[in-house]
Amino acid sequence: MKVSVAYLAVILIWSTTPLGIVWSSESVHPTLAVLLRMLIALVIGSLLLIALKIKLPRDKNALRLYGYSAIGVFGGMSFSYFSANYISSGLMSLIFGLAPILSGLLAQKLINETKFCSIKKFALTISVTGLMIVCYDKISADTNGILGIIFILLAVFFFSLSGVLVKSVDITINPIATTVGALLASTPMFFIVWLVFDANLPYQQWQTKSLMAIVYLGVFGSLVGFIAYFYVLQKLTASTVALVTMITPVMAMTLGAVLNNEPVSLQLLIGAVFVVSGLTCFQWSQKVSMTLAKKRVKRR
């Protein structure tokens, strides 16, 4: 597979996933929708392992990797589905775009990465300002909106925490094996959550759009998307992969407005500009810092 194709796949899948989550939860309970999605991905992924004769490592490091990955899959997905009942798919994607910044903060505490430079702190301020504008707009329009924002922020936290913990595991595994391992570790937790919050199968109420969205998310969102993500992560620099988070919110908001008639207010647009600008500044801060350092050296 070409790296460019995999990279484009990640962008397209991550851009359409929030809308897919909203559609899949319209007539199917969120806990069941995400459980069915994971089961579809797990079955197909397991068949791929068998067909391609790929081994699923079971050593200590591999099990740690699956466990850490499951934190992001379970925590990120569960709270994303809960938030879909309260906020739009575009807003979900926009807030999820803050993951790189939160990952950087967590990495400082957990794996002793270097502290943010002044430019990154400035970028963080811009993004948080944008988030506050978006939150104020949503709370003003819908009193339940704050609940959806809390849920998606929790999803971002668990996703970011998972990414940092995965970095601490020194192991290289086939992307398909990594995906299946993470699904094996997280799917039982989705089943337990469904039993606790729903435990019903009212299939008479299920709509075709919701079922199609679940199948799409199972095949592409949970399987192809993760495989492509792990693949490009091995082939490209982390900063290049992170650029996806600046592209997907814009595409997701556009898709939500066009395909799902989601309202896009002026405050939401202003907040989005702040968030994306902050992310851009954050991602390019290292290059800017190096450029400024070189200029100082030349002046001396």
pLDDT of residue 208: 94
How confident is the prediction along the chain (300 residues), in pLDDT tens digits per residue? Answer: 677 788 888 888 988 998 999 999 999 999 999 999 999 999 999 999 999 999 999 999 999 999 998 998 999 899 999 998 888 888 888 888 777 778 878 888 887 777 777 777 787 788 888 878 777 766 655 667 788 888 999 998 998 888 888 878 888 888 889 889 999 999 999 999 999 998 888 889 999 999 999 999 999 988 888 888 777 766 765 555 666 766 787 788 888 888 888 877 787 788 888 887 877 777 676 566 656 555 555 555
pLDDT, position 289: 60
The CA-CA-CA angle for residues 241, 163, 134, to 5°, reads 75
Q: What's the pLDDT score for residue 214?
A: 95
**Predicted pLDDT of residue 286:** 59
Q: Which domain holds residue 70?
A: 3-299
Q: By CB neighbour count within 10 A (0-12 exposed, 13-18 middle, 19+ buried), where does 111 fall?
A: exposed
Supply angle C-alpha 176, 156, 196, rounded to 5: 80
CA separation for the pair 117, 228 (Å, rounded): 31
pTM passes above 0.85: no
Number of domains in the chain: 1
284's tokens: 């390019």
